[in-house]
Amino acid sequence: MTEITADHSAGAGTTGRSLLNVGERTRKRNAAEKRFRMMGLAAVAIGIFALVGLMASILSNGLSSFNQTYIALDVYLDPAKLDKNGNRAPEDLQKITTFTIQPLIKTAVQDMLDKRGFAAEGVNPNEAAALISGEAPAELRRFILANPDQIGETISFDLLASGRIDGYFKGRVTMESAALDRNISPEQLVLADRLKEAGILDLRFNWAFFTAPDASDTRPEAAGLGVAILGSAYMMMIVLALSLPIGVAASIYLEEFAPQNRWTDLIEVNIANLAAVPSIVFGILGLALFINFVGLPQSAPIVGALVLTLMTLPTIIIATRAALKAVPPSIRDAALGIGASKMQAIFHHVLPLAAPGILTGAIIGLAQALGETAPLLLIGMVAFVREYPAAPPEGFFDPAAALPVQVYNWTQRGDPAFIERASGAIIVLLIFLLVMNAIAILLRRRFERRW
């Protein structure tokens, strides 16, 4: 009672203050309130702006990698050069080198220019042939080996244009930069423009980007993600096959059977810590244990997958335990009540009900594993791999690349065209992640039950 009167007298002292008549101090407080609120809104805006900026940067750099410049060329497969013995024997054809084929392309380019009447000024025959990618002779060689009967015919090919020409049509190379560039001259670009007008050169969807293997430093136009996608797919297969059963089994034990004691506590603290160990430490583990100690091959998907499995396990265990916990005890009690054993109650009733949550967790864990780069660098997956790994299970032990590592690999190369490729590869990676997360969300929406 005394307090109220005291308050009242204090209030009476500050005259002229009411809800309608705002005092100086109130105004200050309201302004502070507004400022604080604005700061909050600004923070949210910065967060969203960062996301938009990140996406815009990747998309603007990478989308062009889905298009590629091709040049249509009729090449005469000269039997006098390709098959001197004239017997089309496979052993002899094997000895054809790309050096033998290069002149054929040069002649074909000259023929094409003469026929169309493009007497290009300032472009000598060698420079004209340089419009075509250095990968083209290898492509022709593969064609000849596969179709020896076509020797002596004139075949029309769609050959890759060289990286600089491709960059010119994508805005990466300009007349000014070409004037300073040893590898390309403005005259060649003029010629390329003419070819484009004539419809000989065109940009089209770049399927090879998804199927072709990596290419050497000087041929960014031929570099593709085939080996990397395959390597990542192999790893994800093994990671799923190992981490899901082990993770679910461990969660069931910890959630349903483990007694409350120090040992269980130790395991739980351990799992929480493993989830926060830097990924590169797992890479060191993989290098020391799987490669150095056990002697598994470097760059192999199996080693990467084992490392990623160990990294994914905590994620899956945490998600599975949450899903098991969400199944109400009444389900277990009912099963036990009609005579099921504990194991039967769990495997026949609790686990199926928790399955959507477990699968969601597994997919999110896999998505994390798919994007992981650092540990794979240490186990040698940065190596330059051009051969596709064999079919599983032998292919698990063959050298392969992985999507995120391929991105890193390309950023380390000199030619700026590889930045485009790297951004394109990121887009592919993000699409995979988007699909996986969408599946996880759908699963959750469709099957999640609220008890």
- Segment 376 to 415, residues that bind another protein, using CB under 8 A: 377-378, 380, 382, 393-394, 404, 407-408, 411
- For the bound state, the minimum distance from the C-beta of residue 28 to another protein, rounded and expressed in Å, comes to 11
- For the bound state, the minimum distance from the C-beta of residue 123 to another protein, rounded and expressed in Å, comes to 33
Site residues for another protein, 170-229, by CB under 8 A, read: none
- The number of C-alpha atoms within 13 Å of 284 and in the hemisphere containing its C-beta is 5
Residue from 281, 331, 336, 353 binding another protein (CB under 8 A): 281
Is there binding between residue 313 and another protein (CB under 8 A)? yes
Q: Where does 292-340 have alpha helices with state H?
A: 301-326, 329-337
Binding mask 226-245 for another protein (x = CB under 8 A): -------------------x
Give 71's contacts (C-beta < 8 A, 6+ positions apart).
131, 132, 158, 159, 160, 161, 195, 200, 201
Residue from 318, 336, 374, 439 binding another protein (CB under 8 A): 374
User: ω into residue 404 within 30 of 0, thus cis?
Assistant: no
Our CB check for another protein shows the closer of 83 and 398 to be 398
Site residues for another protein, 316-335, by CB under 8 A, read: 317
- For the bound state, the minimum distance from the C-beta of residue 328 to another protein, rounded and expressed in Å, comes to 20
Is there binding between residue 277 and another protein (CB under 8 A)? yes
- For the bound state, the minimum distance from the C-beta of residue 242 to another protein, rounded and expressed in Å, comes to 10
Our CB check for another protein shows the closer of 195 and 302 to be 302
Residue from 174, 216, 273, 330 binding another protein (CB under 8 A): 273
Site residues for another protein, 138-167, by CB under 8 A, read: none
CA angle at 281 for the pair 306 and 298, rounded to the nearest 5°? 45
- For the bound state, the minimum distance from the C-beta of residue 25 to another protein, rounded and expressed in Å, comes to 12
Residue from 87, 156, 270, 330 binding another protein (CB under 8 A): 270
- For the bound state, the minimum distance from the C-beta of residue 407 to another protein, rounded and expressed in Å, comes to 5
- For the bound state, the minimum distance from the C-beta of residue 408 to another protein, rounded and expressed in Å, comes to 6
Residue from 233, 318, 336, 419 binding another protein (CB under 8 A): 419
> How many residues contact another protein, by CB under 8 A?
89
**CA torsion through residues 415, 419, 424, 426, sign:** positive
- From the list 107-115, 123-131, 348-356, 429-437, the region that binds another protein by CB under 8 A is 429-437
Q: Report CA 71 to chain centroid distance, whole Å.
A: 29
Site residues for another protein, 432-451, by CB under 8 A, read: 433, 437
Q: Is 154 helix (H, G, I), strand (E, B) or coil?
A: strand
* 300 vs 379: CA distance, rounded Å: 8
Strand-strand pairing, 201-205 and 154-160: unpaired
Q: Which of 351, 371, 360, 366 is nearest to 439 (CA)?
A: 360
Q: Is 115 helix (H, G, I), strand (E, B) or coil?
A: helix
Give 81's contacts (C-beta < 8 A, 6+ positions apart).
100, 103, 104
Distances (CA, A) of 343 to 154, 340, 349: 72, 8, 10
For the stretch 116-124, contacts whose Cβ atoms lie closer than 8 Å and that sit 24 or more positions apart, written own/partner, are 116/198, 116/200, 118/191, 118/194, 118/195, 118/198, 120/187, 120/190, 120/191, 120/194, 121/187, 122/185, 122/187, 123/185, 123/187, 123/188, 123/191
**Two tokens, residue 105:** 């392309």
Our CB check for another protein shows the closer of 60 and 183 to be 60
| Amino acid in the structure at residue 185 | S
What are the strands, taking DSSP E only, across 192-235? 201-205
Residue from 367, 385, 400, 428 binding another protein (CB under 8 A): 367
Site residues for another protein, 24-83, by CB under 8 A, read: 29-30, 32-33, 36-37, 39-44, 46-48, 50-51, 53-54, 57-58, 61
